[in-house]
Structure 1
Amino acid sequence: MNVFFYFNILDIGVVAILAILTCKLGFEYSTKIKRVTDKKEMKKKLLLFSSVVGLGFWSIYTYACLSLDVPIVTETNYILFLFVFLLCFLGAYFTLFMAKAKEFKWWRYIIASIVVSIMFIGITTIGYWWTFRELIYFKPVSFSISCLIIVTCIFKLMKFLRQITNEDEEVVKKSWLNIGAILCGVSISGIPYLLLTSLLDFKGVLQYEYKDYAYLLPFLYPMLSNFLLMILPDIISDRMLSTTTVKYKSLFSHNPNAVFSVDLKGKIMDVNKETLKLVGYCREELIGKELFSILQPNLDKQSIIKKVKSGSIEDVETVIVTKDQRAVDIKITTMRIVINNETIGYYGIAKDITEDKKAKQMIHKLAFYDELTGLYNRRKLMEILNLWAANGEEFHILLLDFDRFKRINDSFGHGFGDDLLKEIALKLKHVTGNKGVVGRLGGDEFLIMIPLTETQDGYLEELVNCFRKPLNVEGVDVISTASIGISTHPHHSTNITELVKYADIAMYHTKENGSNGYSFFSESMLDNKFKNIAIENELRYAIDHNQISVYLQPKYNMVNGELIGAESLARWNHCTQGMIAPNIFIPLAEEIGEIDRLEKNMIKEVCGILSTWKKKGKRIHQTSINISLPTLLHDGFINFVSHTLVENKIDGTFLEFEITERIVMKYEVEVNSRLQQLRNMGIEISIDDFGTGYSSLSYLYKLEVDRLKIDKMFVDQCVENSEVVSTIISMAKALGLQVIAEGVEDEDQIRILKKLGCIEAQGFYFSRPVPHGEFEQLLEEYSTADF
């Protein structure tokens, strides 16, 4: 009988199945280990997976030995089996360890293949010698050919392992893994039988003879599987290359941004169609052109190339000059082109950021500049004041209020008043020049910061005198003299808030003494504050006895004319002085620490009104209430609101709390937490007077708010200049916020607001604030109107 048929086909099949399963586990474990980032976790998995795969290879050898119809010379083989398992474990550990390497270099590939081959040959040879040592008949030629076939098999197996662990899993489909496992398993299963034909004495001891070329048959089995295993990685490589090429072309050619490749000399190698659109050149004009020749000249070419070579990916904002000499702002992200671990160039992904920069400039302008005059706003002024104070500089704070401005504004209209403020701003900048800093606090109040040394040459007199002359506004000569209050750092205080307050007191002192001049703050001016003690006591009494009334100003949907809610406003009808303006008693309440009680009374009153309407079966609309920072941060405020809602049996969705931007700038974390708790009750949060000098745009996306209220100042200007309102509305929509405009007074404003996408509004055009009794009648009489 031929020696090839000495082996049982069924036993060979079992060994092949064991080998296939072991290879499949090895491939799967290799890809899993590759994804592990934690070192401790990787060690654990490496030991576990190596034990399982090692056990698989041990079972292949053990079954192959026990399945032979050959007398085993050594009866007790426990030590041998343990030794073989140890070698199998080490071989599996070494293979998986090499497979997890991020970069599988060629020398690692060769060393790993040789080491694993030696382990396979050593395990089998030593094991057979120990088990069948009296039957061993060493045939050098056959053994050499067997070893060569085994080494070839292991090299192919390691190559396949490298591919599946270093390529995209979407490319290496599960079917390819299964095919690879089958071919590798079949090749490995032939190793025990291949070496047996080179080591056992079939003719002398086992009485089996070779006939003709039959001695080649045991070699054909692994050789055929090796041939198939050699083809498989190439097929996968071609598929990977094809897929990668398609992906690259798609990423390069169909990228919405401009993409180009550049060599290390800075010359353009390739571009996509978006690059051509961006610069206006044709492809032939760009290929080979120096990239830095069309970028702004202040870029450091050598520095950028050096960073690219070192692997530092960097975003560079620069300007590219198009063929028609237009300057376009772009941001370039650079990435190395690495082939065989050598950087040969880099890719650049360029994005046109011209509009983004304009938007950033607009947002910066909103945040730090007064939109009407272009001067610094309150926020920026306070930053500069604090910086000067921190640097220990000596300076004056000049607070200016313009006499007769309100009367001029009322007589000629808000547009004329705005033009007057612009002329005032120009005059202040002209007189001050580079001596100091000029800004607008709001309304007709301006602030100048100027070093002490700059006021010693008649600056103050010049400042006062320049406003004694008429200003020409729309062809009309207008005189609006300035009343100025001055405080000094550090003479009067080192606290900026106090200094501004002292300048304000000095300014009112100037007004009380005839206006049209300036006064330096003095301690004696504080004595006048005691005159307000009586009104303070009366305000406390009014709050204690609920003499502050609730007025309601309706809110409307400008598209369909539907009444959608109201804003509650505090009104104080003094027993002797009549109606006292809110801009007088509300700041006073804040100053004397009564604002918390005043606003809680408002919440109680509004909830009581809504509860009454609910009992009467009337439709309840959402009503907003203004809330200050002291009230919001009061320890018992959240519980108070919850208790009030329960007591009046109304839902939180009927309320909206309006906060000012000043609240945003302080205690950000605590304020946000409180706002979220209120929203959890169903209460909506609105930012009132958005953009009027305390804009905190960097905080806006973090805040737990629902709505922005466009300040009347911007609404007044929206017909002539709608950019600011448009920006606020776009910003709000991008952040998922609703928008309402306040202070709407005419149909032109309504037309522009609706065109810009603002739906909700309130203002004198619709209705002035009215007592809640009149508002109740409005609910009964109201019908939709066409705005």
Structure 2
Amino acid sequence: MSDANLFYKKQMLMVPNYSHQSEENLFEQFFVHHPDGLCCLNEEGCILDINPAGLALFGYQKDWVVGHDLSEFLQWTGSREDIKKEILTVMQGKKKSFQLSIRHADGHIIDMAVSVIPHWSLGQVIGVLGIFRDVSQENQISRELRSIRSRLSAMLESLEMVMWSVNLIKDEILFCSSGVERLVGYTSEELVLSKDLWRSIFHPEDDWLREQLVDSVRQGNKSKIIHRVFHKNGSVRFMATHGVPVFDEGGNLIRMDGLSYDMTEYILKEQELGNERKKFYTVLELIPDPIVIHHEGQLDYLNPAACQLFGVVNEKARTQSVFSYCSPDARDFLASEMQQLVSSGNTHSFVKHELVLLRSDGTEFIGETTCKLFYENNHPAIVTLIRDVTERRQQYDYLARVAYVCPLTQLPNRNRFLSIVEETMRSTVKNMEFAVLMLNIDRFKYVNDSFGYSFGDSVIREVADRLSRIVASNGVVARMGGDEFGILFESESQAFSAANRILKQFETPLTVQGKAVYLTLSMGLAAYPRDGEESEGLLKHADVALYAAKEAGGNCLRRYQSLTHSSWLDNIQLDAEMRKALEQQEFVLYYQPKIDMRTRRIVAMEALLRWVRGDGKSIPPSRFITLAEQTGFIVNLGEFAMREACRQMMEWRARGLQDVKVSVNVSIKQFLHANMLEQVQQTLSAVDMPPSLLDIEITESVLMQNQRDLVSILKHLLKLGVDISIDDFGTGYSSFGYLREFMPSSIKIDQSFIHRMKDDWREQAIVSTLVQMAHNLHLNVVAEGVETEEQLEILQTLGCDVLQGFYFSPPVSSERMNRMLLEEGYID
């Protein structure tokens, strides 16, 4: 008999004068007032009656439910026949309990726990009684719990953690999450079913840790241990285990819950790191350079070399701040640099500084520090290598003085003067001005030629002393190089006044080694900011003014602004265009052939620079070469000309043409501003050109300047295999003294002699003398500027070796020269 029927049958027996009528009344009371939903069904599944609690669950009025089939209210996939089968089973005396879903009147679904029992009346089963209870909330809670457990399990799985519970009374496992198998090789079922297994997997030497964990938790504390366990495969694993006490409602300890996770890899790495750390510090002990390690300004370690450097022992030093070994002036800087290094997190770069450091006895020394950031136990630390560079710094300071001071005059040299000008520009108040005066001794070369270089050096010293006395504290005097000086004045008016005093004072001769030496000076003046807002530009403009003074005959002053405005603007514009033209490849080489007198065939050619603008307009060489000489751009043009000439020669060789020597003109500026020997070697090497195919032409005027240095370079070029020709031979500087020191390959007789030979017997005699002298010295003679048949005949009579001029060919393009060589059969 069902629980419900038993309940109400017992109630019947308690009713006085029990009868069938009283049974029906009591059942009705039971049916109406029961807190759960009740409904009576016939064997067809039709609802015969439903109590108020049931109507509340369904949400319908009674007449909308009674008489309807139960299946109409169910949210399921079964049929009416399925319900009838279940009802018949219950009517045979079997109780049924299950869950199903019912549609509420408002459409939402309700989860119901249903019990179906036989419905007895007058001792017979007349149908079934359904008892309904809303379990939607319980189901929702269950689903959420399952979801939480699932997420927790997934999280523990992903973290490779195991969750467990231990009965502290029986000292046995109550629960263990599935991840334990990956941790120790045993399944959770094996650990739960075996009472002793969880204890036996502890390493015997670590069993005391397990007892410590249990004792601590029994005292109501959370506890953690790191211990070893035996894996099922026999290997030993390291594990971290956390335990927490769990109490019942009465505050009684009932179990220990906890988490465990694998620490093997971490422990092994820690052990490996410890071994590496030992090796690391062992190596530091052996390094002869001082090394310190510090973090957050606190010293952690000093190797023996560092202890010796600072005069401390490691143990004592480790209690001190790194700043205690820095001079007070260096501490703020060092703190800032350390903070920046740590903040950057850059463990790859090295940071170098020179700091004034302190030994333990308070003495100072200059230390070169090389710092590198690294991380130890996830904490930033800095390892610093220190070298005592006190002596090196002293040597550097000495060399710096030498680098910035002229050893002959003890005046600032060009580099120092340039830096002083730049410093003055930076410190000059807006709208303030200053001036630069450039000076050059007129015809100083003759002093060296006449009395020797030692005497010339003495003259330079005397000039420097006199200039320093004249200028006194009103300016800065510097020796720019050679016989050139520079003076910086606070104002243009000071510069003018001093220049006039200088010109006046040098009317009085200098006394050098007992000799009276009369000198004059050429001077150029440029003012800041009017004549230039950059140091190099300002000095260049003062040089331009100086050259103007020399062109005016010397012994005078020229101001940069005294140049005609239009002429200067033209030069400025042309200079800019010239530099741009080199970048845009507007400069080309033309070639003028040199003809052998006997065979009348081309034996060499001279490379001549031409400027053809993009618009096709040509700029005369006399216009841009002079300007390039003044501005120093001739160095760039000269390098281009030599490089292009050599490239062209090797291109013709590659085409199968016979080798022909090429002559390239070299300016004095190239010798003064570049390593000429290295440049020639690099140029020849770049195109694999034999040195014998290159002829460098220099003028006699070049040899008259810096003769000693130039002769040395020229000798090295000759030794390399390059030919040297003296251009414009016999003009201007008619001193042949240099031939005692240096013997060129050939000379070129200036065309001015060639042009006047026909009409002036004296010119012809000069040419004849030059040819005979050259031949006596075993030199080849080249006559340039040959334009007529008469000139050719005279030169042939005089025995000239090689001819060059418009009579044979003007300078032509490389394409035209290529055709000329082909026409003359210059094919290997």
TM-score range (shorter-chain normalised) is: 0.3 to 0.5
Give the number of the structure whose residues are more often helix, by fraction. Answer: 1
Greater RCO (Cα-Cα under 8 Å, separation 6 or more): 1
Give the number of the structure whose residues are more often strand, by fraction. Answer: 2
